[in-house]
Amino acid sequence: AADPLPPSIQLYGCNIVESPLIFASPLIYWLGALMLFLLISLFFLNKEMRKNQADLDRANRELELRRSIEDSISSAIVITDLENKIVYTNPAAQVITGYSEDELQGKTPPYPFWADTSVLPATLLGDPSKLDPAAFPYRFDLLVRHKDDEQLNVLLLATPFYSSYNEHIGWIYMMRDNTIESQSMNLTNDAIASYQRLLNSVMSCISVVSHKPTGTMLGIHNDHYTEQLGNTADGHLAISRACKIPFNPQGSREAEVWVDSLERWFSITEARVTLPGGSHVTLQSAQDITQRKINEKELEDQTNRMENSSRLITLGEMASTITHEINQPLTAITAYANTAIEVIGNAPEVNRGQVLEIYKKIANQAGRIDKIIKNIRAFAKRRPTTLENVPLANVINDTQELGKLIEKKYAGIRIIYELPKVLPNVLCDPVQIMQILMNLIRNAAEAILEAGCTDRTIAVIAKVGANEVELQVADHGPGISDTMKASLFTPFFSTKKNGLGLGLSTCQTIAESHNTRLRVRDNEGGGTVFVFDLKICS
Ligand code: ADP
């Protein structure tokens, strides 16, 4: 039914069954197809084999890598299932425990290598649903018994073992030999214990407080602190607050402080320290000195009483002289008053000039008595030392007045004054300086008379230096031996029959309150010189 082809196109054809080539027979055809199939299969088989070989190589490499990782890990790894049956151990686990892989495999707690089963990490055996992921890994310090019976301190870290489907299927234990760490920990603990023992042997309250925004915390402190001030930073702070002295540029300070809230005296040393982490702490050493302060106060009171007695003794000894001194102007006053009565009573006319002259004399004598009494009162009055800026000339003048009483009491004694023309102002308590001079003059007078020395002159000498005036009381009496000099200023040392031995020790106490010392030396040509200094004031 096809249209006839155009004449330019000719159609050729042939019968394939009759083809002379490969398709000539069906057997050959099937053989060819089979070969083709075999060729293709061989190709794919080869490809698959190569892929398998690569997978195998990779698996081998991974296995080797895993082995070398396992071999390189120094920590022991033990993996268990949820019943704590050991399913895996690495070589280090076998080294630490001394048991082979086979000996450990399948074991359940208590494992043969756990020395102390009482510290079994029991939490791990509990309900897995109650695990606290935030607490992983659990840490335990355990004692492991090696197969050869040696014991090791081990740090054990335990974490849950999850499958690739995130299912909790067991536990991974990592154990590390902690012996060296625990040895060094023991050494550290020993060092801390020795340090604490040292601190406890100190009889002061030692404490360190740290200053944080949240408050002040008590850190290291010794037993003495706990006994005296308790277990908080309060005691440290109370003492610190009572100290009004500022810290020096090096961050430390020292003081003796009275703590109101504790009603005690403390001698304290404080240092502010910045620790390597940048936090600030204050170290305080506080020694309770309340008893010492009480003793000091008692000693001071005693010294004051001694000084007082010494002064009163001097006055008592001089009482007859004083009476005599006052008696003289009193007799004169009586005489002048009687003359005045006579002049006014008998004369028809009052001679104003004559009466005035008599009254002037009376006033003069009364003034003399007043001066003597004032001097004695000032001398006898008990006062605490008050250093003031006073003209030395005034002190010497008042001494001269009292010196006259001594000259009268000790017959033959003459006091001379070797003074520069101008005397400076000095820092002193004038009455106390007079007391020293009077004591020294009286001692010299007694020594001279007792020894029967011919030279009965006592010299009061002032030598003005750049910053100080040196005051001397020198005599040509019997002198003082070196052995005696050693105990001269000791209270109650006396060579006199009725001597109290308080004079020189009192003078020394007064000299010390004037920041000087009373010294004794031999006088040229025999006798003794007592010396002390007074600071010059502008
Ligand atoms: P007292 O006068 O009560 O003995 P002091 O302390 O004043 O006590 O003196 C102690 C001793 O020092 C005196 O007993 C005396 O032996 C000796 N002494 C003091 N001054 C002199 C002096 N200028 N010359 C010699 N001996 C002195």
The answer, yes or no, to whether residue 536 has pLDDT greater than 70, is yes
Which CATH homologous superfamily contains domain 73-183? PAS domain (3.30.450.20)
**pLDDT at residue 120 in the model:** 56
Q: Look-up: residue for tokens 């012996």?
A: 179
The answer, yes or no, to whether residue 435 has pLDDT greater than 90, is no
- What integer best gives the mean pLDDT of the chain? 85
Residue 475 Cβ inside 6 Å of ligand 1? The answer reads: yes
Contact 406, 322 (CB under 8 A): no
DSSP lists the bridge partners of residue 288 as 266
Ligand 1 center–CA 440 separation, angstroms: 8
**pLDDT at residue 377 in the model:** 73
Residue 500 Cβ inside 6 Å of ligand 1? The answer reads: yes
What are 171's two structure tokens? 């536990």
Give the three-class secondary structure for 287.
Answer: strand
163: burial class by Cβ within 10 Å (0-12, 13-18, 19+)? exposed
| Residue 506 CB neighbour total at 10 angstroms | 26
The answer, yes or no, to whether residue 118 has pLDDT greater than 60, is no
pLDDT digits (tens, 9 = 90+) for 470-483: 999 999 999 999 99
Number of the ligand 1 atom closest to the C-alpha atom of 493: 10
Ligand 1 center–CA 442 separation, angstroms: 9
CA distances from 269 to 208, 231, 274, 452 (A): 12, 20, 17, 59
Ligand 1 center–CA 414 separation, angstroms: 19
**pLDDT at residue 248 in the model:** 94
**pLDDT at residue 23 in the model:** 52
Contact 491, 504 (CB under 8 A): no
Ligand 1 center–CA 436 separation, angstroms: 13
Element (H, E) at 143: strand 138-145
pLDDT digits (tens, 9 = 90+) for 438-464: 989 999 999 999 999 999 999 999 999
Distance between CA 523 and CA 444 in Å, rounded? 12
Distance between CA 279 and CA 466 in Å, rounded? 52
The answer, yes or no, to whether residue 211 has pLDDT greater than 90, is no
Distance between CA 456 and CA 452 in Å, rounded? 9
Residue 360 Cβ inside 6 Å of ligand 1? The answer reads: no
Let me know the angle formed at the C-alpha of 136 by 134 and 140, rounded to the nearest 5 degrees.
135
The amino acid occupying position 50 is R
Q: Look-up: residue for tokens 């000498």?
A: 461
**pLDDT at residue 9 in the model:** 59
CA distances from 265 to 257, 259, 432 (A): 6, 6, 31
The answer, yes or no, to whether residue 119 has pLDDT greater than 60, is no
Its pTM stands at 0.43
**pLDDT at residue 117 in the model:** 60
Q: Look-up: residue for tokens 């007694």?
A: 446
Which residue's CA is minimally distant from atom 16 of ligand 1?
495
**pLDDT at residue 99 in the model:** 94
Ligand 1 center–CA 443 separation, angstroms: 6
pLDDT digits (tens, 9 = 90+) for 17-57: 555 555 557 788 888 888 999 999 999 999 999 988 888 88
Give the residue-averaged pLDDT of 7-19.
55
Give the three-class secondary structure for 538.
Answer: coil
Give the residue-averaged pLDDT of 525-537.
96
**pLDDT at residue 181 in the model:** 73
The answer, yes or no, to whether residue 97 has pLDDT greater than 70, is yes
Q: Which of 231, 235, 183, 237 is nearest to 211 (CA)?
A: 237
Contact 287, 205 (CB under 8 A): yes
Residue 435 Cβ inside 6 Å of ligand 1? The answer reads: no
% of the chain at pLDDT higher than 70: 89
pLDDT digits (tens, 9 = 90+) for 367-399: 888 877 877 776 666 566 789 999 999 999 988
Give one DSSP letter per residue of 440-496, joined into a string: HHHHHHHHHHHHT-S--EEEEEEEE-SSEEEEEEEE-SS---HHHHHHTTSTT---S
Dihedral over Cα of 264, 266, 270, 275: its sign: negative
| Residue 310 CB neighbour total at 10 angstroms | 23
What are 511's two structure tokens? 């000299």
Q: E strands along 90-245, which residues?
A: 138-145, 151-162, 168-177, 205-212, 215-221
Which CATH homologous superfamily contains domain 202-288? PAS domain (3.30.450.20)
**pLDDT at residue 67 in the model:** 78
Q: Which residues in the chain are classed under CATH 3.30.565.10?
A: 300-535
pLDDT digits (tens, 9 = 90+) for 157-196: 888 888 888 888 888 888 888 777 777 777 888 888 888 8
Substitution site in 494, 519, 531 for ligand 1 pocket (most atoms within 8 Å of beta carbon): 494
**pLDDT at residue 385 in the model:** 74
Ligand 1 center–CA 494 separation, angstroms: 6
Distance between CA 406 and CA 325 in Å, rounded? 11
Give the three-class secondary structure for 146.
Answer: coil
What are 530's two structure tokens? 């007592």
Element (H, E) at 80: strand 76-81
Number of the ligand 1 atom closest to the C-alpha atom of 477: 24
Ligand 1 center–CA 417 separation, angstroms: 21
Sequence-separated (6 or more) residues with CB below 8 Å from residue 29: 22, 23
Q: Which residues in the chain are classed under CATH 3.30.450.20?
A: 73-183, 202-288
Give the model's confidence band at 4: pLDDT under 50 very low, under 70 low, under 90 confident, else very high: low
Which numeric CATH code is attached to 300-535? 3.30.565.10
Contact 530, 511 (CB under 8 A): no
Distance between CA 463 and CA 426 in Å, rounded? 13
pLDDT digits (tens, 9 = 90+) for 274-328: 888 788 899 999 999 999 999 888 887 776 777 677 767 776 766 766 777 788 7
Choose between 304 and 228: higher pLDDT: 228
